[in-house]
Amino acid sequence: MRFAHSLILLAPALALAASLPPGSPPSVTDDNGIIIAPTDGTSVIAGDSFAFSVRNAPQHSGICHAPWTTVNVYILAYKPTTADLNSTFGFSDYLWYFGEYTIFNDGDITPPPGIPDVPVPPTLNTPDLGQAISGDSIHLAVIEDLGQCDPFEDVDNISLDSRALLYTE
């Protein structure tokens, strides 16, 4: 009797799990609101630092609260869209890659292996991109990976934000 009762209780959970597609593609959104600083139009000079600040994507507030999220930071020659992301949800044709950083949402909880234990720096140093780009707009792009919000859903949540900067050498 106990075995039959257990099967009755377990059947809906197994049906739900079987209906979920394995390795579903991520939910990817363009999101204005991850980058706090710098603002659009900020002038940056090769070799100098500029203020850098990010936060979790606003559209995910209240939906998902992971102890940490990761951000990858790039400089591009164009304003990016989600269509520009490659198969690993990064950019292939970037001018500069600053690296991957972690936003710690719950204090100093150490992330598991595979998640960088590197907090978001308060400043970034402007790389030397060459005289040919001097005077042009470049785009600081941030890709945030919020991971899997719903444990029953095999979907990562990716957000993209960018700011246009004026570069001089």
For residue 139, what pLDDT band results from cuts at 50, 70 and 90? very high
Provide the phi-psi class of 84: left if phi over 0, else alpha when psi is between -120 and 50, else beta. Answer: alpha
Residue 15, domain member (yes or no): no
Q: How many domains does the chain have?
A: 1
Is 2's pLDDT higher than 70? Answer: no
CATH code of the domain in which 145 resides: 2.60.40
pTM: 0.76
The two tokens of residue 90 are 């990064």
Residue 12, domain member (yes or no): no
Predicted pLDDT at 140: 97
Q: For residue range 64-96, what is the model confidence (pLDDT) as tens digits? A: 666 778 899 999 999 999 889 888 889 999 999
Residue 7, domain member (yes or no): no
Q: Which helix (H) or strand (E) holds 13?
A: helix 2-19
* Residues of the domain holding 140: 24-168
Is 169's pLDDT higher than 50? Answer: yes
Residue 121, domain member (yes or no): yes
Residue 70, domain member (yes or no): yes
Residue 10, domain member (yes or no): no
Residue 109, domain member (yes or no): yes
Pick the more confident residue, 139 or 16.
139
Neighbours of 13 (CB within 10 A): 10
| Interval 160-168 mean pLDDT | 95
Q: For residue range 28-70, what is the model confidence (pLDDT) as tens digits? A: 555 556 899 999 999 999 999 999 999 876 555 555 666 778 8
Name 69's bridge partners. 103
Predicted pLDDT at 65: 62
Residue 14, domain member (yes or no): no
Q: For residue range 94-136, what is the model confidence (pLDDT) as tens digits? A: 999 999 998 877 766 777 787 778 889 999 999 999 998 988 9
For residue 13, what pLDDT band results from cuts at 50, 70 and 90? very low
Nearest Cα residue to 154 out of 57, 55, 16: 16
The two tokens of residue 105 are 């949402």
Predicted pLDDT at 34: 84
